[in-house]
Amino acid sequence: MRALLIFPSASLTFMAGSIGELTALMRAVESSRDKTVQWRYLELVGGPDVIARSRRLLSSVGCEPLLTAGSLEDLYGTPVSTIRKRLERVLRFRPDVVVLSSFRAFVQFPKFPGLIPHLFQLLSRRQIPTLILDPCGDSFLYPSMTEHDVLLPAPFTYRYEPLPHQKTFSSIVSREQEAPPAPDGEWLWLAAPWMGHFLRFQIAERIALSLLAQLAAPVSSLGALGDPRIWCPQCTVMKDNVSFRRLDQIIARKAAVVTANARSVLAARAASWGVPVVVVDPTRLPSKRLAQAHGVSLEDLERARGERIPKFPVPVEAVTLEPGRRAALDALRRVQRNEASSVALRKERRGAYDNYPDFAQVLAEYV
pTM of the model: 0.79
**Of 195, 206, 167, 143, nearest to 18 (Cα)?**
195
CA distance 307 to 285: 11
| Helices marked H in the chain | 12-15, 20-31, 52-60, 72-76, 80-90, 103, 116-125, 138-141, 199-213, 244-252, 265-272, 288-293, 298-305, 327-338, 343-351, 359-364
pLDDT in tens, 15-49: 765 556 666 666 666 666 666 788 889 988 888 88
CA distance 171 to 46: 27
CA distance 213 to 193: 22
Q: Nearest 5 degrees, angle CA 86-CA 90-CA 91? A: 120
Mean pLDDT taken over the chain: 83
pLDDT in tens, 211-221: 999 998 999 99
3-state secondary structure (DSSP) of residue 322: coil
Q: In the prediction, which pLDDT does 79 show?
A: 78
In the chain, the largest separation of any two C-alpha atoms, in whole Å, equals: 62
CA distance 14 to 69: 9
Query: Which range is least confidently modeled, 19-33, 117-131, 183-197, 249-263?
Result: 19-33
Query: If you average pLDDT over residues 317-345, what whole number do you get?
Result: 81
CA distance 143 to 158: 13
DSSP 109-138: S-S-TTTHHHHHHHHHHTT--EEEE-TT-H
